[in-house]
Amino acid sequence: MSRKLFLFLTLIIVTVMLVGCAQQPAATQAPAQEAGGESQAPTTGGETIKIGIFSPTTGFAAADGTSALQAAQLAVTMINDNGGIMGKKLELIHYDDAAKPDQAASIARKLIEQDKVVAGISGSYSGATRAAAPIFQEAGVPMISAYAIHPDITKTGDKIFRVGTLASVEGRVGAELVGSVIKGKRVAILTIDNDFGVALTEAFKAHAKDLGLDIVLEEKYPLGETEFRPIIGKIKEANPDVVYATAYYNEAANFVSQAKDEGLNATIVGQEGYDSPKFIELAGPAAEGVIITTDLNRDSDRPMTKTFLEQYKKTYNEDADMVGASAFDAVQLIAYAIKTAGSTDADAMVKALMALKDFEDVATGPFYRYTPEREVVRPIDAQIVKDGAFHFYHEFTDPDLITP
């Protein structure tokens, strides 16, 4: 080999080595965010305690899923700004499940096996939450359902808890609201045909019977329905005092808008699915006077509720909703469990949650206690839309009503 050729080949090899070294990440560089998937709350170096959350930030439920994510991030930031837990920062790992059960199940495995989270949070709907819960349970990793209401979620096992109100409780409270507070007598029931709607209606009807309410009409409709006028015609013919209508904010906005256009005079009672600024934005003046059962009292004097509402507005320049408040509370509960246990051991965290009493560091509380079935006992609120915003209407504290 000639000297010139040798020198030329040597130069190429050295150049390739230098370029390769330049492209290697530094040892402390954070991994790049996976496209369309993971997002993390800011952390500041050192070892972290990882918790996972899945919520629908795309698709029909994107507004709810985004609220859940943003509120969870806010809780993590507040905890970290106050020193973290056991000298460590919390790290929040999020994936978008699009409110689809199959995606939620895959995400649960990823959070457990790849990300090694010590606990998980469902910021999603009942179908997705029911799909993920058995995976967390089998792995022995605690999971908290932020706002999904289906009874089967916590029946999965001893590692699965709920922050939001169980469907049997919220439906029961809905009937009490209609019969004892609004003083309605004749009720039409409109049910969204999924886990959420069916579970609420079943509980409502059971207590409505106890109260002697006259159910004059029952109708179901599919998720995503936009045209309610034919049903509204039937409701008008039945002449109810109150319409108990289960819905998410999109369907709710369409229903109340069309009900106003069609001259329906009955009081409309909704649930936590209505509890979004999007409902009021989409329904406009038609939202006025709608009453809902929910976990979040915007007019509360409780310090943590006020702090949450103020900080959420300051951070995201929009009003918080019940979904966000529940996800915020789920992070607060996990932090409480770790601090109380002095460990991220799953059994120790579960023991801490089961022993919880009169917990005030939550936006939707207070939380009086957890039942043996890991359902929270707490007050339930009713809010009314007045002057374009949700406001306090009634609070239910009777143990016979609010205890699952």
Q: Do domains 36-165+297-370 and 168-294+381-402 have the same CATH topology?
A: yes
Percent of the chain whose pLDDT exceeds 90: 88
Domains of the chain, by residue range, sit at 36-165+297-370, 168-294+381-402
Residue 203 vs residues 92, 162, 351, 383, 404: alpha-carbon distances, Å: 35, 18, 30, 20, 11
- Answer whether CATH 3.40.50.2300 is correct for domain 36-165+297-370: yes
**pLDDT, averaged across the chain:** 90
Note the pLDDT of residue 16: 34
The CATH code of domain 168-294+381-402 reads 3.40.50.2300
pLDDT digits over 229-279, tens only? 999 999 999 999 999 999 999 999 999 999 999 999 999 999 999 999 999
Predicted pLDDT of residue 243: 98
- pLDDT at residue number 201: 97
Q: What is the pLDDT of residue 38?
A: 44
**What is the pLDDT, as a whole number, of residue 179?**
98
Predicted TM-score (pTM) of the model is 0.86
Per-residue pLDDT at 46: 45
d(CA 230, CA 216): 16
pLDDT of residue 247: 97
63 and 276 in contact (C-beta within 8 Å)?
yes
Q: Looking at residue 33, what DSSP letter applies?
A: P
| pLDDT, tens digit, 9 for 90 and up, residues 78-115 | 999 999 999 999 999 999 999 999 999 999 999 999 99
Task: Give the C-alpha separation, 389 to 379, whole Å.
Answer: 21
Distance CA 340, CA 136 (A): 21
Tokens of 391: 């406001």
Neighbour tally for 2: CB within 10 Å = 7
Residue 6 has pLDDT above 90, yes or no: no
- Which helix (H) or strand (E) segment holds residue 78: the answer is helix 62-81
> Over pLDDT 70: what percentage of the chain?
89
> How high is the pLDDT of residue 196?
92
The tokens for 126 are: 């009942």
Region 299-322: mean pLDDT is 97
| Residue in 223, 211, 147, 143 with CA at minimum distance from that of residue 182 | 211
For position 388, what pLDDT does the model report?
A: 96
The mean pLDDT value for 175-200 works out to 97
User: E strands of 246-375, at which residues?
Assistant: 267-270, 291-294, 369-370
| pLDDT at res. 180 | 98
Predicted pLDDT of residue 34: 34
Q: What is the pLDDT of residue 191?
A: 98
What is the reported pLDDT for 15?
39
So what's the pLDDT on residue 4? 39
- 21: pLDDT strictly greater than 60: no
Whether 10 shows a pLDDT value over 50: the answer reads no
Interval 271-299 mean pLDDT: 96
Q: In whole angstroms, what is the distance from residue 50 CA to residue 181 CA?
A: 44
User: Can you tell me the mean pLDDT for 7-21?
Assistant: 38
